[in-house]
C-alpha cells in the first residue's frame, strides 16, 4: 500500500496507513473485543454489547460477504497506539475481532465552534442535544453496514485475491465503524441508544420495507467498477462527514470519528487505486488497439468509466443534503457538527454575520444567492469534498497522459443528475448546461451507465482466484499489502 | 381581581416598587402566619359561626411600593385568608358556618390592588392569581366536603376581586343602601379580566344569564339592590338595620344542616412549621427539599409514616404532629414557597422514602375512620396539596426508587407528575442494596383524591382506554414491580440501575433546554384531559386569557389601561381584534 491521499486544506500527504500517534499504552487485550474504552470495567457497555453482539454476528452471517472463505489476510485494530493500530494476520472472517477504539483523549480539549466556543468539550451527552446527537450518530452509523450489504456478492466476481482481500478489509472495517457508532449509542444514550443500535441491523440496503436511511446506500453495487467508484466517491462522503463530527464538542464522538478516519483512508486507497488500475488497463488497451471501443479486447471503455464516475459522483453529492440548511446551522451553533478542518479555519468559528454565495438556477440560468454562512455549511463541506475528488481524477488522468492519450476523465458539473438541493428538478449536463426534458432524454445514455453498459461490464466480471492472477480489465497493483508480494494468497478457501 | 383604589401618579413611591420589567427586590415570601399575627383579617368564632372580617392595613403590603387602600388586597392579605380558612377547618370543628365581611365603612373589598398589579412583574401577577384562585377554591371545598357553609356579608361595595371573593361563598348578601354595589369593573376600567374566577362563577356557579353577565361585566359601577338579586348576582339584600340579623339568620340556618361535628369537638391547633434551612437544602420533619440551581431542579422527598396510630383517639392526640397532617402541611408549604420564591428552578423531582407497607397500613387506618372529622379534613387537605402540584407551572418528574413508598395516597404524587421513572431492579452498586421499588394502589387512587376536573388521576391517565383503566384499578393492593407498573402504564419508563443516572440527567438537561413558557403551556394542556369543571375553567380558560391580556400593550403597555388607571388619562387601545 503505497498510495497517497492529500487533503485540500493542508496539502499534507497522508500515507495509506496514517502514522499512529499517542502513547502505546492503554491497550486492553480483551480477547474477544479489542478496545480502549475499559470494556472490562464497564457494566453498562458489557450488558449492552451482550445483547447486541450476537445480533451483529447474525447480521454479518446473513448479509455480510456471501462467498465462503477459509481465512483472509486482514488488518485488525487491536489498540490505538503505534503497535496496535495495524495488526496484520490471516483471520477466518467469522473470527474477525471487531473492536472499539477512540483516539487518545486530550484532557484540555475545548468546544471549538458555535455558541459554546471555548467551553470544555463535553464528556457526557448534554441533555438538550440528546436527540440531535443521537440522530447524527444513527445516520452516520446507518451508512456503515449499508455498504457491506451492497457489496456482499462482489467476492464472487473478484478480479484477484488481492482485490477480494481489499473488499473484505473494507467490509470488516465498515463493520467496525458500525461498532464504533453502536458503542456511542450504548455508552451514552441509554435505552434509546440500545434500541437505535438494534435498528441499525434491522434496516437493510435496498429493503423495500426497511431501507437504509440515505438514498445512495440503497443503490445496488453491481460490479467491481461501481465498487471502486463507490469507495472513491461515496466513502469519501463518509470521510468528510466523519471529519465534521471529529470536530464535535461531544468529545467521545470526536475521538471515535478521529480514529475511524484512519481506517477510512484505506477505503479511499481501494477506490483511488482500483479506478486508477482500471484506467491504466484501459489506456494500455486503447493505445494497443487505437480505439476506445475495447470491449472486444476485454477492457472497459473510457467513456463507460466516465459514465460510472458521473453517476457515483452525482449521487454522492446528494449525500451532503441541501445547499442551505437550517439543521446544519443549528448543529454548528450548538457545537455538535463542525466544518472540515474547523480548527485550521481563520475566522471566529461562530460565523454570525458572515455570508456565502450558494448556486441557484434562476430564470433558466445558473446564478448565485447570498445566504448566511451558517445556513450554507452543507455546501461548504460539499465544496471541500468536490475539490478533494478532483485529486483522484488528476491521478487517473496521469495514466492516460503517460499512455500518450488525449482523452481525459473529468468530474461532472455539480448540478448534474442531482436529486437533492437546488439542482433537483432541473436537468444539467455534465458540462453545466441547463437542458429541457427532451435534450436530457436524448443524451442521458451518453452520461450515465445504461443497462447495456452495466451488462457489458458485468460480463467482464469473471472471478480470478489464483494467486497472482488478475482479470484482464484491470492492471495489477505495483506492490502488495503490508510489504507482501502482489502474488500472495491473500484469501484462502 | 381589581380595586377601585386611587392610583397615584407615576414616580415617587414607585421607585421602591417592583417594576414590570425588573424582578422585585429579592424578598423571600413566607406563608407562615397565624391569627395573632394577622395584619388584615380578624378571625372570630362565636358558637357555630366563624367570622372573618377584612380590615386591610393600608401600609401592610407584602412588598413596598403601594398602599392597600379601600380593603384592596395583595398576596400578603390572601396568605392570611388562606391560613384562616385552614384554621377554621382544623382548629374550629365547632364552626359550622363561615361569614366573610368587612370592617371598613361602605366598602366590602375593592379587589386586588391595582398599583401592585401595575407594578408587578408578570410572573408575580400570575403566581399571585394562582394562589388567590386556590384559596377561593378552598372556600368552596370547605363547603362541599366539610359542611362549612360560607356567607359573604357584603356590607359595602364589592368590586372586582372583592366580588369574586363573595362569589366563592355559598351565599351573597348585599347591603341595600342605594349605593353599595357588586361589580366586575375590570374590562371597562382596567382592560383586564376578573381573573379570580369572576367570569366563570357568574355564569357557571350562579347561573347569571349570559347577556346580563355581559352587561354586568362591562358596567363599571356595578349592579345593586333588587336588580342584583333578580340577576342572581346576589342571593339577598338587606337594609343596614336588618343586615346583621339577616346574616345571623342565614348562618344559623346553614349551621343547622351542617355535617361538621359542632360543639364539643376538640380542634387541632396548627402550630408553626419548623424548617431547617442549610444552604439549598431545607428539611422539615417529613419533607426534604434540595435545590440544584445549576441543573434547575428541586428534589422534593416526602418521608412516609413510621407508624400507624393504634386508634382514632391516638390520631386526635397527635394533633398536628400526626404524620399525614404534618407531612401535608410541609409539602404544601414547599410547593408554595418554591412556586413563589424559586422561579428559575423549573423542574421538580418528586421522591418518597419509607416503608410501603406502613403507608398502606396508614391508608387503611384513614379509610377505616373516614367519617371522623379530622381524618376527613386531613384527607381533604392532602387532596388540595396534590391539586396544587397539578396546577404548578414546573415540570414534575417522579423518581420511584428502591426505598421509596409510592403507595396509595403517596402514589398520587407520582401520578401528578408529567413523567415518572421507576428503577427496574436494585442499585446493585450500593453497599447494601435496598429491595426493588414497588408501587401500590389502593382506594385513594380510585376516587378519594380527584383532580380539579373531578376525575381521578388514573381516570385522566387512561382516558383513552377503559380496559387500561380497569387493569390499573384491578391492580389495587398488589405490590407492583417496575415491569408491572410499566406494563400497566403507571410509569413512563423503567430504566435499570445502569441507565438510571444517565436517563434522569438527560431528561432533566433536555427539559432545561426548552422554553419555560412553552413547557408551562404544554404541561397545563396535557395534565387535564377529560371533562371540564368550573375549577378547570378558572385555571385553564380564564387564567390563560388573563395571562395573555396581562402581557398585551392594551393592558400592560405604557398607554395601556392597567398602567393609566388613576392617572386621569384614558387608555389608548390598539383597536385591532386578535
Asked if pLDDT for residue A18 goes beyond 80, the answer is: no
Q: Do A127 and B503 touch (CB under 8 A)?
A: no
Residue B221 and residue B95 in one domain: yes
Find chain A residues with C-beta within 8 A of B503's C-beta. Answer: 190-191
User: Could you tell me the pLDDT band of residue A1, with boundaries at 50, 70 and 90?
Assistant: very low
**What is the least distance, in Å, from the CA of B527 to any CA of chain A?**
23
Structure confidence at residue B8 (pLDDT): 35
Q: How many CA atoms lie within 13 A of B296 on its CB side?
A: 20
CB–CB contact A127 B502 (8 Å): no
User: Are B314 and B463 part of one and the same domain?
Assistant: yes
Last residue of one domain, picked from the residues B225, B260, B295: B260
Looking at B484, B508, B527, the residue that finishes a domain is B527
Parallel, antiparallel or unpaired: strands B97-102 and B149-154? parallel
From chain A, the residues in CB contact with B502 under 8 A are 124, 188, 190
Whole-number Å distance between alpha carbons of A161 and A90: 13
Cα–Cα distance for residue pair B266/B263, rounded to 1 Å: 8
Half-sphere exposure of B465 (CA within 13 A, CB side): 11
B560 min Cα distance to partner chain A (Å): 37
CB contact (8 A) between residue A43 and residue B498: yes
Are B365 and B485 in a shared domain? yes
Return the pLDDT at A263.
80
pLDDT in tens, A339-355: 999 999 999 999 999 99
**Subunit contact B512:A130, Cβ cutoff 8 A:** no
Chain A residues contacting B via beta carbons under 8 Å? 43-44, 47, 124-131, 188, 190-191
**Identity of the residue in B493, B498, B509 whose CB atom sits nearest the CB atom of A128:** B509
> Contact B548/B520 with Cβ under 8 angstroms?
no
* Residue B26, domain member (yes or no): no
In this predicted structure, the answer to whether residue A279 has a pLDDT above a threshold of 50 is yes
CB contact under 8 A, B509 and A126: yes
B397/B416 Cα distance (integer angstroms):
9
Q: Which residues sit opposite A71 in a β-bridge?
A: A492
| Residues of A whose CB is below 8 A from B493 | 191
Measured between CA atoms, the residue of chain A closest to residue B493 is A191
Q: B466: which 3 cell numbers? A: 377503559
Give the three-class secondary structure for A490. coil
Q: Is B540 left (phi over 0), alpha (psi -120 to 50) or beta?
A: alpha
Contact A127 B499 (CB under 8 A): no
B504 contacts on A by Cβ (under 8 Å): none
Which residues on B lie below 8 Å from A124 (Cβ)?
Answer: 502, 505
Residues B225 and B285 in one domain: no
Collect all residues with Cβ–Cβ distance below 8 Å to A268 and sequence separation of at least 6. A5, A231, A232, A235, A236, A239
Residue B359 lies in a domain: yes
The tens digit of pLDDT for each residue in A375-388 reads 999 999 999 999 99
pLDDT digits (tens, 9 = 90+) for A124-180: 999 889 999 999 999 999 988 899 999 999 999 999 999 999 999 999 999 999 999
Measured CA to CA, the distance from residue A435 to residue A443 in angstroms comes to: 10
- Nearest residue on chain A to B500, alpha-carbon basis: A190
Residues B41 and B118 in one domain: yes
Asked whether residue B17 is assigned to any structural domain, the reply reads no
Question: Which of A148, A264, A265, A262 lies closest to A205, judged by CA?
Answer: A148
Grid cell 498510495 is found at A3
User: Would you call A127 and B495 a contact, using CB atoms and an 8 Å cutoff?
Assistant: no
Confidence check: pLDDT of A20 > 60: no
Q: Check A190 against B505: CB less than 8 A apart.
A: no
> Contact B510/A47, CB-based, under 8 Å?
no
Of the residues A125, A186, A190, A333, the best mutation for testing chain B's interface (the one with the most B CB atoms within 10 Å of its CB) is A190
Element (H, E) at A38: none
* Contact residues, chain A, for B495 at CB < 8 Å: 190-191
Cβ within 8 Å of residue A352, ≥6 positions away: A374
| pLDDT of res. A95 | 85
Q: Is A253 within 8 Å of A177 (Cβ atoms)?
A: no
Give CA separation, B474 vs A263, B467, B477, B480, in Å: 58, 10, 9, 12
3-state helix, strand, coil in chain A (%, to 5): 50, 10, 40
Chain B residues within 8 A of A190 when measuring between CB atoms: 495, 499, 502-503, 506
Separation in Å, CA A216 to CA A308, A420, B233: 14, 11, 72
What pLDDT shows up at residue B26? 54
| B220-B226-B230 Cα angle (round to 5) | 85
Query: Do B234 and B147 have their domain in common?
Result: yes
Statement to judge: residues B209 and B66 lie in one domain: yes
CB contact under 8 A, A124 and B510: no
Q: How far does the CA of residue B431 sit from the closest CA of chain A (Å)?
A: 17
Facing A47 at nearest CB: one of B498, B506, B508: B498
Asked if residue B252 and residue B322 are part of one domain, the reply reads no
**CB-based contact A125 B507, cutoff 8 Å:** no
> In B, residues 502-531, which contact A (CB 8 Å cutoff)?
502-503, 505-513
Residue A84 confidence (pLDDT): 66
The 3-state secondary structure of B345-375, one letter per residue: CCEEEEEEECCHHHHHHHHHHHHHCCCCHHH
The pLDDT of residue B215: 96
Is B495's CB within 8 Å of A190's CB? yes
* Smallest Cα distance from B497 to chain A, Å: 9
Query: 3-state class of A491 per DSSP?
Result: strand
Asked casually if ipTM beats, i.e. exceeds, 0.95, the reply is no
Average pLDDT rounded to a whole number, residues A357-365: 93
What grid cell was written down for A259? 480514529
Average pLDDT score over residue span A243-272: 92
Residues of chain B in contact with residue A128, where contact means CB-CB under 8 angstroms, are: 509-510, 512-513
Q: Is residue B13 part of a domain?
A: no
Domain boundaries, position B214:
33-260
Nearest chain B alpha carbon to A128: B510
A-chain residues near B507 (CB < 8 A)? 127
Quickly state the pLDDT bin for A22 (edges 50, 70, 90).
Answer: very low
| pLDDT value at A236 more than 90 | yes
Cell of B193: 379580566
Following DSSP, what letter does each residue of A270-294 receive, concatenated? HHHHHHHHHHHHHHHHHHHHT-S--
Interface test with B, best of A123, A127, A133, A194 (most B CBs within 10 A): A127
Per residue in B163-192, pLDDT (tens digit) is: 999 999 999 999 999 999 999 999 999 999
Q: Tell me the H-state helices in B198-353.
A: 198-200, 210-217, 225-230, 243-256, 312-318, 323-341
In a domain? residue B560: no
Bridge partners of B439?
A: B406, B480
Instruction: Establish if B369 belongs to a structural domain.
Output: yes
Average pLDDT over residues A349-371: 94
Look up the CATH number of the domain holding residue B292. 3.90.226.10
Q: Which of B426, B492, B501, B506 to mutate to test the interface with A (most CBs of A within 10 A)?
A: B506
Residues of B in Cβ contact (< 8 Å) with A126: 509
Total number of domains in chain B: 2
* pLDDT range class, residue A30, cuts 50, 70, 90: low
Dihedral through CA B493, CA B496, CA B499, CA B503, nearest 10?
30
Same domain assignment for residues B233 and B353? no
Q: What is the pLDDT of residue B428?
A: 84
List chain B pLDDT tens, one digit each, 578 residues. 444 433 333 333 333 344 444 444 457 899 999 999 999 999 999 999 999 999 999 999 999 989 999 999 999 999 999 999 999 999 999 999 999 999 999 999 999 999 898 888 999 999 999 999 999 999 999 999 999 999 999 999 999 999 999 999 999 999 999 999 999 999 999 999 999 999 999 999 999 999 999 999 999 999 999 999 999 999 999 999 999 999 999 999 999 999 999 888 999 999 999 999 999 999 999 999 999 999 999 999 999 999 999 999 999 999 999 999 999 999 999 999 999 999 999 999 999 999 999 999 999 999 999 999 999 999 999 999 999 999 999 999 999 999 999 999 999 999 999 999 999 999 988 889 999 999 999 999 999 999 999 999 999 999 999 999 999 999 999 999 999 999 999 999 999 998 899 899 999 999 999 999 999 999 999 999 999 999 999 999 999 999 999 899 999 888 888 888 877 788 889 999 98
Among A124, A127, A190, whose Cβ lies nearest the Cβ of B508?
A: A127
Task: Give the C-alpha separation, B72 to A374, whole Å.
Answer: 54
Q: Is B481 a member of any domain? A: yes
Write out the DSSP string of A60-125.
Answer: HHHHS--S--SEEEEEE---SSTTTSSEEEEE-GGG----B--PPP-TT-B--SSTTTTSBPBSS-
8 A C-beta contact, residue B84 and residue B38: yes
Report the chain B residue with the minimal C-alpha distance to residue A194.
B499
Final residue before a domain boundary, out of B260, B290, B321: B260
B297 lies in some domain: yes
Partner residue opposite B510 with nearest CB, options A47, A127, A188:
A127
A34 three-state secondary structure: coil
How far from each other are the two terminal CA atoms of chain A, in whole angstroms?
A: 24
CATH number corresponding to A4-492: 1.10.620.20
Across the A:B interface, residue pairs with CB atoms under 8 Å apart total 36
Amino acid at each position: 500500500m503505497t498510495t497517497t491521499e492529500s487533503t485540500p486544506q493542508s496539502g499534507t500527504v497522508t500515507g495509506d496507513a496514517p502514522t499512529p500517534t499517542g502513547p502505546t499504552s492503554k491497550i486492553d487485550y480483551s480477547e474477544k473485543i479489542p478496545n480502549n474504552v475499559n470494556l472490562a470495567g464497564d457494566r453498562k457497555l458489557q450488558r449492552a454489547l451482550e445483547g447486541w453482539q450476537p445480533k451483529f454476528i447474525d447480521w454479518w452471517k446473513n448479509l455480510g460477504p456471501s462467498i465462503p472463505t477459509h481465512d483472509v489476510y486482514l488488518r485488525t485494530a487491536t489498540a490505538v497506539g503505534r503497535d496496535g493500530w495495524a495488526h496484520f494476520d490471516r483471520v477466518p472472517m467469522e473470527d474477525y475481532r471487531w473492536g472499539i477504539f477512540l483516539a487518545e483523549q486530550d484532557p484540555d480539549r475545548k468546544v471549538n465552534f458555535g455558541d459554546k466556543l471555548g467551553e470544555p468539550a463535553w464528556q457526557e451527552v448534554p441533555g438538550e442535544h440528546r436527540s440531535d446527537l443521537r440522530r447524527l450518530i444513527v445516520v452516520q452509523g446507518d451508512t456503515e453496514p449499508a455498504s457491506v450489504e451492497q457489496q456482499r456478492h462482489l467476492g464472487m466476481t473478484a478480479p484477484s485475491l488481492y482485490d477480494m482481500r481489499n473488499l473484505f478489509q473494507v467490509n470488516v472495517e465498515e463493520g467496525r465503524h458500525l461498532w464504533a457508532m453502536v458503542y456511542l449509542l450504548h455508552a451514552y444514550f441509554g435505552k434509546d441508544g440500545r434500541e437505535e443500535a438494534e435498528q441499525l441491523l434491522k434496516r437493510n440496503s435496498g429493503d423495500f420495507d426497511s431501507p437504509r436511511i440515505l438514498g445512495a446506500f440503497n443503490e445496488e453495487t453491481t460490479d467491481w467498477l461501481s465498487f471502486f467508484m463507490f469507495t472513491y466517491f461515496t466513502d469519501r462522503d463518509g470521510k468528510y462527514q466523519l471529519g465534521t463530527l471529529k470536530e464535535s464538542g461531544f468529545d467521545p464522538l470526536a475521538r471515535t470519528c478521529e480514529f475511524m478516519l484512519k481506517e477510512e483512508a484505506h477505503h479511499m486507497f481501494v477506490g483511488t487505486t482500483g479506478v486508477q488500475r482500471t484506467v491504466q488497463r484501459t489506456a494500455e488497451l486503447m493505445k494497443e488497439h487505437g480505439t476506445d471501443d475495447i470491449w472486444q479486447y476485454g477492457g472497459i471503455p473510457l467513456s463507460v468509466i466516465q459514465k460510472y464516475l458521473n453517476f457515483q459522483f452525482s449521487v454522492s453529492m446528494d449525500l451532503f443534503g441541501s445547499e442551505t440548511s437550517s439543521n446544519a446551522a443549528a448543529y454548528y451553533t450548538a457545537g455538535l457538527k463542525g466544518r472540515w478542518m474547523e480548527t485550521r479555519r481563520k475566522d471566529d468559528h461562530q460565523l454570525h454575520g458572515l455570508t456565502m454565495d450558494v448556486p441557484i438556477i434562476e430564470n433558466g440560468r445558473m446564478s448565485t444567492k447570498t445566504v448566511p454562512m451558517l445556513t450554507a455549511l452543507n455546501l461548504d463541506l460539499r465544496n471541500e469534498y468536490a475539490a478533494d475528488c478532483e485529486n483522484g481524477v488528476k491521478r487517473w488522468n496521469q495514466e492516460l497522459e503517460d499512455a500518450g492519450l488525449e482523452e481525459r476523465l473529468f468530474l461532472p458539473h455539480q448540478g448534474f443528475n442531482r436529486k437533492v438541493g437546488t439542482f433537483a428538478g432541473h436537468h444539467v449536463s455534465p458540462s453545466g448546461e441547463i437542458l429541457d426534458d427532451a435534450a436530457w432524454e436524448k443524451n442521458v445514455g451518453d452520461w450515465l451507465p445504461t443497462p447495456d453498459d452495466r451488462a457489458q461490464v458485468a460480463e467482464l466480471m469473471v472471478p480470478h482466484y489464483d494467486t497472482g492472477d488478475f482479470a484482464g480489465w484491470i492492471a495489477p497493483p505495483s506492490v502488495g499489502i503490508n510489504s507482501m508480494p502482489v502474488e500472495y494468497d491473500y484469501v484462502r478457501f | 381581581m381589581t380595586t377601585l383604589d386611587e392610583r397615584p401618579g407615576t414616580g415617587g413611591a414607585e421607585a421602591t416598587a417592583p417594576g414590570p420589567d425588573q424582578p422585585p427586590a429579592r424578598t423571600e415570601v413566607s406563608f407562615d402566619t397565624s391569627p395573632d399575627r394577622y395584619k388584615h383579617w380578624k378571625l372570630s368564632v362565636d358558637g357555630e359561626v366563624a367570622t372573618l372580617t377584612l380590615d386591610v392595613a393600608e401600609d401592610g403590603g407584602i412588598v413596598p411600593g403601594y398602599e392597600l387602600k379601600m380593603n384592596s388586597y395583595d398576596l400578603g392579605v390572601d396568605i392570611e385568608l388562606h391560613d384562616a380558612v385552614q384554621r377554621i377547618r382544623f382548629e374550629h370543628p365547632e364552626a359550622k358556618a363561615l361569614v366573610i365581611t368587612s370592617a371598613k365603612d361602605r366598602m366590602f373589598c375593592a379587589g386586588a390592588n391595582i398599583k401592585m398589579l401595575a407594578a408587578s412583574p408578570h410572573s408575580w401577577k400570575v403566581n399571585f392569581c394562582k394562589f388567590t384562585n386556590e384559596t377561593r377554591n378552598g372556600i368552596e371545598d370547605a363547603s362541599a366536603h366539610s359542611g362549612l357553609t360560607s356567607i359573604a356579608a357584603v356590607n359595602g361595595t364589592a368590586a372586582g376581586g372583592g366580588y369574586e371573593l363573595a362569589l366563592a361563598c355559598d351565599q351573597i348578601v348585599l347591603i341595600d343602601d342605594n349605593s353599595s354595589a357588586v361589580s366586575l369593573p375590570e374590562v371597562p376600567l382596567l382592560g383586564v379580566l376578573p381573573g379570580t374566577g369572576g367570569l366563570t362563577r357568574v355564569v357557571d356557579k350562579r347561573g347569571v344569564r349570559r347577556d346580563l353577565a355581559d352587561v354586568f361585566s362591562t358596567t363599571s359601577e356595578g349592579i345593586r339592590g333588587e336588580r342584583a338579586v333578580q340577576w342572581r348576582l346576589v342571593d339577598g339584600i338587606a337594609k343596614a338595620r336588618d343586615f346583621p340579623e339577616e346574616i345571623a339568620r342565614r348562618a344559623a340556618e346553614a349551621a343547622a344542616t351542617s355535617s361538621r361535628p359542632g360543639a364539643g369537638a376538640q380542634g387541632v391547633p396548627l402550630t408553626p412549621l419548623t424548617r431547617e434551612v442549610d444552604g439549598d437544602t431545607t428539611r422539615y420533619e417529613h419533607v426534604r427539599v434540595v435545590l440544584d440551581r445549576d441543573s434547575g431542579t428541586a428534589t422534593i422527598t416526602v418521608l412516609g409514616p413510621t407508624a400507624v396510630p393504634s386508634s382514632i383517639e391516638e390520631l386526635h392526640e397527635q394533633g398536628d404532629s400526626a404524620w399525614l397532617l404534618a407531612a401535608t402541611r410541609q409539602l404544601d408549604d414547599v410547593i408554595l414557597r418554591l412556586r413563589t420564591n424559586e422561579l428559575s428552578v423549573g423542574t421538580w423531582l418528586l421522591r418518597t422514602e419509607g416503608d410501603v407497607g406502613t403507608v398502606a397500613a396508614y391508608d387503611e387506618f384513614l379509610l377505616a375512620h373516614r367519617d371522623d372529622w379530622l381524618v376527613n379534613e386531613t384527607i381533604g387537605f392532602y387532596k388540595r396539596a396534590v391539586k396544587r402540584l397539578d396546577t404548578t407551572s414546573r415540570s414534575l418528574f417522579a423518581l420511584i426508587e428502591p426505598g421509596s413508598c409510592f403507595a396509595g395516597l403517596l402514589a398520587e404524587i407520582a401520578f401528578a407528575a408529567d413523567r415518572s421513572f421507576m428503577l427496574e431492579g436494585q442499585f446493585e452498586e450500593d453497599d447494601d442494596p435496598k429491595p426493588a421499588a414497588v408501587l401500590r394502589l389502593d382506594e385513594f387512587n380510585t376516587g378519594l383524591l380527584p383532580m380539579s376536573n373531578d376525575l381521578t388521576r388514573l381516570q385522566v391517565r387512561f382516558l383513552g382506554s377503559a380496559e387500561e383503566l380497569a387493569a390499573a384499578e384491578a391492580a389495587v393492593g398488589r405490590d407492583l414491580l417496575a415491569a408491572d407498573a410499566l406494563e400497566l402504564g403507571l410509569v413512563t419508563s423503567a430504566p435499570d440501575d445502569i441507565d438510571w443516572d444517565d436517563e434522569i440527567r438527560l431528561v432533566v438537561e433536555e427539559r432545561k433546554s426548552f422554553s419555560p413558557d412553552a413547557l408551562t403551556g404544554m404541561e397545563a394542556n396535557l395534565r387535564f384531559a377529560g371533562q371540564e369543571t368550573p375549577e378547570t375553567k378558572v385555571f385553564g380558560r380564564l387564567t390563560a386569557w388573563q395571562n395573555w391580556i396581562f402581557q398585551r400593550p392594551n393592558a400592560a403597555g405604557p398607554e395601556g389601561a392597567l398602567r393609566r388607571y388613576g392617572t386621569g388619562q384614558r387608555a389608548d387601545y390598539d383597536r385591532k381584534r386578535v
